[in-house]
Structure 1
Amino acid sequence: MGFCWTVQLILVFANTVFANQTFHQIVNYVNSVGTTWTAGHNFDPDIYKPEDLKVLCGAKLRNAGKLRQKKTHTDIGALPLLFDGREHWINCPSLVQVVDQGSCGSSWAVSAVQAMNDRLCIFSEGRVITQLSAEDLLTCCGELCGFGCEAGYPLEAWEYLKYTGIVTGSTYGDVKYCQPYSFPPCEHHTKGKLHPCNVTKGTPKCIKTCTGNTSLEYNKDKSYAMDAYEVNSEVSQIQWEIYKNGPVQATMSVYADFFAYKGGVYKHVTGELIGGHAVRIIGWGQMDGFPYWTVANTWNREWGDGGYFLIKRGNNACGIEESIVAGRPRIDDLVKSESKDTKNAF
Structure 2
Amino acid sequence: MKNLWITLFVTVLTVQSSVAVFNPPEDFWGHVKHNDKYYEWESGKGKTSEKLYDRFRKRKHADKQDDFPVLKHKLESLPDIPKSFHYFGKWAACIDAFINGNLNEGSCDASWAMIPASILSDRLCIESNGNITSRLSTEDLLACCPECVTQRNGCDGGIVQNVFQFWMMQGIVSGGPYNKSEGCMPYSKSSFVDQKSSECEIRCTNPNFGTSYIADKHFGSLSYTLPNDELQIQVEIITHGPVVAEMTVYEDLLYYSSGIYEHVVGEKIGTEVVKIIGWSSDESVTGKSDDDRVNYWIVVTSWGDEWGVKGSFKIVRGTNQCGIESKVRAGRTSPWLDKDEYFEIRARPSPRSAERRSLLVAPIWFIIMSVINSVVLI
TM-score (norm 2): 0.74
Matched, 1:181 2:187: yes
Q: Distance in 2 between matches of 1:221 and 1:56?
A: 34
Q: Could you tell me which residue of structure 2 aligns to residue 248 of structure 1?
A: 243
Q: Structure 1, residues 290-341: CA drift from partner, whole Å, max 9, x if none?
A: 11110111111121012111111111111111111110125986xx79x9xx
Matched, 1:206 2:216: no
Q: Could you tell me which residue of structure 2 aligns to residue 301 of structure 1?
A: 305
Deviation at 1:55, TM superposition (A): 7.1
Report matched runs for 1:1-346 at 5 Å: 12=13, 19-22=21-24, 24-34=26-36, 35-43=39-47, 48=50, 51-54=53-56, 60=62, 62-64=63-65, 66-74=66-74, 75-92=77-94, 93-96=96-99, 97-144=101-148, 146-147=150-151, 148-183=154-189, 200=195, 202-212=196-206, 213-288=208-283, 289-330=293-334
Q: Which amino acid aligns with 2:217?
A: K
Q: Do 2:243 and 2:275's aligned partners in 1 also have CA atoms closer than 8 Å?
A: yes
Q: Which amino acid aligns with 2:210?
A: S
- Seen in structure 2, the aligned counterparts of structure 1 residues 32 and 50 have a Cα distance that, compared at 3 Å, is farther
Q: Which amino acid aligns with 2:219?
A: Y
Q: Structure 1, residues 180-214: CA drift from partner, whole Å, max 9, x if none?
A: 1114797xxxxxxxxxx76x3x4432221011135
Deviation at 1:262, TM superposition (A): 1.0
Structure 1: stretches of 5+ with no match in the other structure: 187-196, 340-346
Deviation at 1:160, TM superposition (A): 1.2
Q: Which amino acid aligns with 2:329?
A: V
Instruction: Give the SS at the match of 1:71.
Output: strand
Q: Which moved more, 1:272-281 or 1:19-28?
A: 19-28
Q: Do 2:22 and 2:57's aligned partners in 1 also have CA atoms closer than 8 Å?
A: no
Q: Which amino acid aligns with 1:89?
A: W
Q: Could you tell me which residue of structure 2 aligns to residue 342 of structure 1?
A: none
Q: Which moved more, 1:298-307 or 1:322-331?
A: 322-331
TM-score (norm 1): 0.81
Task: Tell me the matched-pair count.
Answer: 313
Q: Distance in 1 between matches of 2:252 and 2:85?
A: 27
Q: Structure 1, residues 14-44: CA drift from partner, whole Å, max 9, x if none?
A: 959x944446422112212321111012236
Instruction: Give the SS at the match of 2:273.
Output: strand
Instruction: Give the SS at the match of 2:247.
Output: strand
Q: Distance in 1 between matches of 2:24 and 2:178?
A: 32
Deviation at 1:120, TM superposition (A): 0.9
Deviation at 1:259, TM superposition (A): 1.1
Q: Which amino acid aligns with 1:40?
A: G
Q: Distance in 2 between matches of 1:301 and 1:68?
A: 32
Q: Do 1:55 and 1:103's aligned partners in 2 also have CA atoms closer than 8 Å?
A: no
- Seen in structure 2, the aligned counterparts of structure 1 residues 255 and 150 have a Cα distance that, compared at 3 Å, is same
Q: Which amino acid aligns with 2:82?
A: P
Q: Could you tell me which residue of structure 2 aligns to residue 344 of structure 1?
A: none
- Seen in structure 2, the aligned counterparts of structure 1 residues 217 and 142 have a Cα distance that, compared at 3 Å, is same
Q: Structure 1, residues 122-151: CA drift from partner, whole Å, max 9, x if none?
A: 111111111111100121111245442222
- Seen in structure 2, the aligned counterparts of structure 1 residues 57 and 78 have a Cα distance that, compared at 3 Å, is farther
